[in-house]
Amino acid sequence: MRQVMVAGNWKMNGSSESVKDLMVGIKAGMSAVLNAEVVVCPPAVYIPRVSGAADGSVIKVGAQNICDQDNGAFTGEISGAMLKDVGCDYAIVGHSERRALYGESDELVARRFAAARRNGIKPILCIGETLDERESGVTNQVCARQIDAVIALEGVTALADGVIAYEPIWAIGTGKTASPEQAQQVHAFIRGKITALDADVGAGLRILYGGSMNPSNAAELIGQTDIDGGLIGGASLKADDFLAICQAAN
Ligand code: PGA
């Protein structure tokens, strides 16, 4: 059985005050969240504060990125050991905003995935196609290429240590969600591709959907056979919306 997971990607939003309030709100509603694993990914500077607030609750903390190197002269980067040190269990790698706005290649993302693993952090590997790519019918190829970079570096069994988040770029922050059928098709493709290489890894791998998931569409999306939860951007910034998605995941 794959445990459903709901992860909030707060992106570059918030302040000391607002992250405190958000955590108070989320924690207050957690007793109604029975089955889902709940993760929040704050901006890096707020991770210690959020980890402290999450202490003693079931909420886990993730980073929005992780350096591919372990220490040294890498200005502006944060290592896996540092993230572990401040309480991270997860790290997002290869978010489309990192790929598109900061030029992160499939290979760099794969190295970040590897860095998470060797530091005992579970990577959340984001993949997904642009609108152009979808309209040209290459969605599956794009997702396969992004996954293959990780498999080439780390082997297929490495995927068992992480989570994949399928996030069609045209659905991120646009209010335009993939239909449950569209999402399920790609999720089934991803699982099928991995299962063909390793049946156990394919069966056990959690594949989240991301892209304008909200309280009104979450249950139907997460209800699809191969959708094991969500990576939530905008709706994770409001405690009530985030909790409603967590409850839908039950
Ligand atoms: P969104 O973002 O929910 O605001 O579309 C999802 C994401 O970027 O992870």
One digit per residue, the tens of pLDDT, for the chain of length 250 reads 899 999 999 999 999 999 999 999 999 999 888 889 999 999 999 999 999 999 999 999 999 999 999 999 999 999 999 999 999 999 999 999 999 999 999 999 999 999 999 999 999 999 999 999 999 999 999 999 999 999 999 999 999 999 999 999 999 999 889 999 999 999 999 999 999 999 999 999 999 999 999 999 999 999 999 999 999 999 999 999 999 999 999 8
Residue with the smallest CA separation from ligand 1 atom 6 is 233
pLDDT (0 to 100) of residue 197: 98
41 sits in which H/E element:
strand 37-41
29 sits in which H/E element:
helix 16-29
Q: Is 213 in the pocket of ligand 1 (CB under 6 A)?
A: yes
Calculate how far, in angstroms, residue 236's C-alpha sits from the geometric centre of ligand 1.
Answer: 9
Residues 6+ apart with CB under 8 A from 106: 94, 145, 146, 148, 149
* Complete domains list, the chain, with CATH: 5-228 (3.20.20.70)
Q: Is 128 in the pocket of ligand 1 (CB under 6 A)?
A: no
Q: Is 234 in the pocket of ligand 1 (CB under 6 A)?
A: yes
pTM confidence score: 0.98
DSSP H stretches of helix in 55-105: 80-85, 96-101
User: Do residues 228 and 206 lie in contact, with contact meaning Cβ atoms separated by under 8 Å?
Assistant: yes
Place of tokens 């191969």: 226
